[in-house]
Amino acid sequence: MKNKLILTKSTPKSEKKPLSKEAQLFKKHWQAVEKAQRLFDQTEKKYKNIIGRANQELRPLEVKSASALFLLTEHLLSFTENKSLNKSQKYELAEWIRENISGLKYSDFATSLDVESLVKQHSNFSSEYSRLDKHELAKIKRIIQETYGDELDVIFTDEELDQYIKDPDLLHARVEAHMLKMHQKKAEDADAKLDEGFDFDTDDLDDEFDDQINADAYNDKKKADLLNKLDVNRLYRPLAKILHPDREMDEFKKIEKHELMIILLAAKKNNDIFTLISLYQKYHTDDQIIFSPEELEDIYALLIQKKNDIDDKRHALKFDSFLNSRIIQEFGKCSQKNIDKKFSKYTQDLEDQIIGINLVRTEIKTLKILKAILQQR
């Protein structure tokens, strides 16, 4: 027992002894890990419940809404062959169809629908009216210039403008790419200006970068070394005596201890000091955990890293997938009461949306009705 520190576990109030400074520090680190794990478990459970509920209650309505929009778009495309539509009406109709197709293309709930067939039909229809006269082209150029200003340092040809009128998403993508390039150039210029007046050797920067990489590698190796050199057997042996199922007479407890023994063996095999400490804290009847001062310092470092890893995992839960991230963003920060309210409102909105889309489709029975609706858009 020489040169060992005894960490005393909590005892009944009447028998409680003051903890040493080292024991208090150990308890503080261990409780921080337990708190982080509880928060992770609570967050994971909450997110799983929300996503499960969304899949059960909202997803069928989202799919139904996408199907309704698909049918409406098909119905609108059936009018594109009509010769009595003037150029303005064709434009409004094409824009309406394009908006619908754009919504379907980027929907997570339209994967079973043949959206590409709508895209082809729309493209054929758009090509019939997209040629613009010089005055219209000049007007569009002015609008683009006024909208994006001198920062958009490009000159569009008439053919490009025709294409962008058919599919404005292409124009938006080009403008965004141009803006990104300009911002990157500004950032590079700012960095270059910041560097002016500083005299440094790039070899020094390379050395610092290499030092950081080496430091990270050293820390990873140090962590592995710490786990390897800790004497896990001093935790494993007493636990094995307590949890071994052959020592248990009660059949139900024997089954429980069999499962715990599997966990214990896996923890020993993997040098999982965290699981071993957790089991020891929970099941060992002795109030003492013995570590050397050197081992305690190593364990403190491991516990801090464990807490940080758990926190990182918890923050990553909300980025499980793009769709799930949207669901968590919408409902994840609410109390249960507000979650119920939001689900109720979201459900009602989807149902109203489906009714509205279907109503428009059934309402447009004739070209005359369609023209009246196009006039209002």
- Report which of 106, 99, 112 is spatially closest to residue 67, judged by C-alpha positions: 112
Residue 116: the pLDDT is 92
245, two tokens? 């199922």
- pLDDT, one tens digit per residue, over 227-284 is 565 667 777 888 888 888 888 888 888 899 999 999 999 988 888 888 888 888 788 7
Q: State the residue for tokens 């337990």.
A: 34
pLDDT above 70: residue 35: yes
Phi-psi region of 3 (alpha: psi -120 to 50; beta: other; left: phi over 0): left
Mean pLDDT of the chain: 78
- Report which of 83, 54, 79 is spatially closest to residue 326, judged by C-alpha positions: 54
What does the DSSP 8-state code read for residue 320? S
Euclidean distance between CA atoms 223 and 333, whole angstroms: 35
Buried b / exposed e along 220-250 (16+ C-beta atoms within 10 A): eeeeeebbeebebeebbebbeebbebeebee
Instruction: For residue 206, give the amino acid letter.
Output: D
Phi-psi region of 197 (alpha: psi -120 to 50; beta: other; left: phi over 0): left
Residue 169: the pLDDT is 67
CA distances from 265 to 73, 250, 258 (A): 61, 22, 11
- pLDDT, one tens digit per residue, over 99-117 is 999 899 889 999 999 999 9
How does residue 126 score in pLDDT terms, banded at 50, 70 and 90? Answer: low
214, two tokens? 């080496």
pLDDT above 50: residue 158: yes
- Report which of 265, 260, 261, 289 is spatially closest to residue 277, judged by C-alpha positions: 289
- pLDDT, one tens digit per residue, over 166-225 is 666 677 777 777 767 776 676 566 555 544 544 445 455 455 445 444 445 545 555 556
- pLDDT, one tens digit per residue, over 48-103 is 999 999 999 999 999 999 999 999 999 999 998 888 888 888 888 988 998 999 89
Euclidean distance between CA atoms 319 and 314, whole angstroms: 10
How does residue 11 score in pLDDT terms, banded at 50, 70 and 90? Answer: very low
